[in-house]
């Protein structure tokens, strides 16, 4: 077995996937930055609740469509499914971009496109996560998951910084159009893969109640239920970064679009570091999840108290490191601990648990910002990290092991 941080890249199909994904991920982060800025500064008067509603509409379908998304990831050809979902996301980015560059965009348009994007992404996310297991041997799965996260967060380092500069130059709409074009890279990489080298999926029974079987499987596994509960707490109240960062930038530090992009990129520096560290580990553990959650809470606590722009950015880097350690380890833990035939459904449940709480948490966090200020909202993120750590500690005390 090959060793090293980048060992999964020795396989042709994974190299193709990684090369297409990094381009598409840069475009995705450019759009996310532009969308946040458009809603907060152009379509509203710094209304954080409206931004929370956009996030709720974008992530709510993860829960609403759960009976179908996990089933699709387990039963359909994942490569073809991903080609379809990537095309759909590209078409939606094109539509919103055209509305914005022509000056016709209104807040309700963003709501509609966020909801539609959420529906497509609900099918894309579990298939994309489970597809990694089709590309690499089981022994390389944890490394491949971590490298996927590295790619996503390396793009997070580049995309917002570039978008922040370009928004001031050409406007938000062009970020959506650039993102639409970027999907050609990942669609092309999927088309160029050597299909004969893809690992065959373990067959999942085509029976009614497939999702119920996934829930029963998770319910009977204390380790999985612990990871999911920790993820739900942090995902609901801690992963509302667009609200936290944009409102601190605008309301506290009176920053412009380029400075907002810099803050998002500073957080990505920590995220990339966390993903690379995770790539070096053979197997994650619940003990590591507890450490990540505790650091996550501390990072938010420090961020809430930081008096200057750059010190706030430093705290964001700590949050990024902790968040990526937690999410990458949780993803790998769940995939490695789950039978292959159940993997798509369990990953769908994981993603729905992590992101499906956003319709609850994002409007609440937005309301806290509008009522008490951005620093108090950061306190909500700190409480989420500490609460998740307590859940993990309880598992370790009851079961006496870390993984």
**Poorest-confidence range of 144-158, 237-251, 283-297, 376-390?**
144-158
DSSP code, position 138: G
**Distance of alpha carbon 380 from alpha carbon 166, whole angstroms:** 32
Structural Rg of the chain based on CA atoms: 20
Listed residue (175, 153, 226, 137) closest to 31, CA to CA: 175
Cβ atoms of 231 and 350 within 8 Å: the answer is yes
In the numeric block, the tokens 């597809």 are attached to 131
Could you give the domains of the chain? 7-399 (1.20.1250.20)
pTM above 0.85, yes or no: no
**Distance of alpha carbon 306 from alpha carbon 303, whole angstroms:** 5
pLDDT bin (cut points 50, 70, 90) of residue 208 is very low
Which tokens in the block code for residue 246?
């944009």
**Distance of alpha carbon 121 from alpha carbon 113, whole angstroms:** 12
Output 336 or 289, whichever has higher pLDDT. 289
pLDDT at 108 over 50: yes
pLDDT of residue 281: 66
pLDDT of residue 87: 97
In the numeric block, the tokens 């894309």 are attached to 124
- Torsion 107-112-116-119 (CA) sign: positive
pLDDT bin (cut points 50, 70, 90) of residue 392 is very high
Cβ atoms of 217 and 16 within 8 Å: the answer is no
pLDDT at 206 over 70: no
DSSP code, position 199: P
Instruction: Count CB-CB contacts under 10 A for residue 216.
Output: 11
Which tokens in the block code for residue 159?
């995309």
Percentage of the chain exceeding pLDDT 90: 50
pLDDT at 279 over 70: no
**Distance of alpha carbon 385 from alpha carbon 291, whole angstroms:** 10
What count of residues does the chain have? 403
pLDDT at 26 over 90: yes
Alpha carbon 389 to chain centroid, angstroms: 20
**Distance of alpha carbon 26 from alpha carbon 160, whole angstroms:** 8
Percentage of the chain exceeding pLDDT 70: 93
Which tokens in the block code for residue 66?
């759960």
């Amino acid at each position: 077995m090959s060793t090293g941080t980048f060992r999964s890249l020795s396989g042709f199909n994974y190299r193709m996937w990684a090369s297409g994904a990094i381009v598409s991920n840069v475009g995705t982060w450019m759009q996310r930055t532009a969308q946040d800025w458009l809603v907060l500064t152009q379509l509203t008067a710094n209304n954080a609740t409206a931004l929370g509603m956009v996030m709720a509409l974008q992530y709510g379908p993860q829960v609403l469509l759960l009976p179908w998304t996990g089933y699709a990831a387990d039963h359909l050809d994942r490569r073809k499914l991903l080609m379809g979902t990537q095309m759909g996301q590209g078409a939606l980015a094109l539509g919103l971009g055209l509305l914005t560059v022509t000056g016709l965009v209104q807040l309700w348009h963003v709501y509609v496109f966020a909801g539609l994007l959420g529906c497509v992404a609900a099918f894309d996310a579990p298939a994309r996560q489970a597809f990694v297991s089709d590309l690499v041997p089981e022994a390389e799965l944890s490394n491949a998951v971590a490298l996927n996260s590295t790619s996503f967060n390396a793009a997070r380092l580049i995309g917002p910084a570039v978008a922040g500069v370009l928004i001031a130059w050409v406007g938000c709409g062009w970020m959506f159009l650039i993102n639409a074009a970027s999907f050609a890279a990942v669609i092309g990489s999927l088309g160029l893969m050597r299909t004969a080298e893809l690992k065959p999926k373990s067959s999942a029974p085509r029976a009614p109640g497939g999702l119920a079987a996934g829930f029963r499987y998770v319910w009977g596994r204390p380790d999985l239920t612990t990871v999911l509960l920790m993820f739900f707490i942090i995902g609901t109240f801690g992963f509302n970064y667009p609200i936290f960062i944009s409102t601190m930038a605008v309301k506290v530090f009176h920053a412009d679009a380029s400075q907002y992009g810099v803050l998002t990129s500073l957080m990505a520096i920590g995220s990339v570091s966390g993903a690379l560290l995770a790539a070096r580990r053979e197997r994650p553990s619940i003990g590591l999840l507890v450490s990540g959650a505790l650091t996550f809470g501390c990072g938010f606590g420090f961020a809430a108290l930081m008096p200057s722009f750059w010190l706030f950015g430093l705290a964001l880097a700590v949050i990024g490191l902790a968040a990526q350690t937690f999410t990458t380890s949780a993803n790998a833990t769940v995939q490695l601990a789950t039978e292959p035939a159940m993997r798509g459904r369990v990953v769908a449940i994981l993603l729905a648990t992590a992101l499906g709480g956003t319709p609850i948490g994002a409007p609440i966090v937005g309301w806290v910002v509008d009522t008490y200020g951005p620093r108090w909202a950061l306190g909500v993120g700190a409480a989420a990290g500490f609460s998740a750590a307590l859940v993990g500690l309880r598992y370790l005390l009851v079961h006496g092991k870390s993984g």
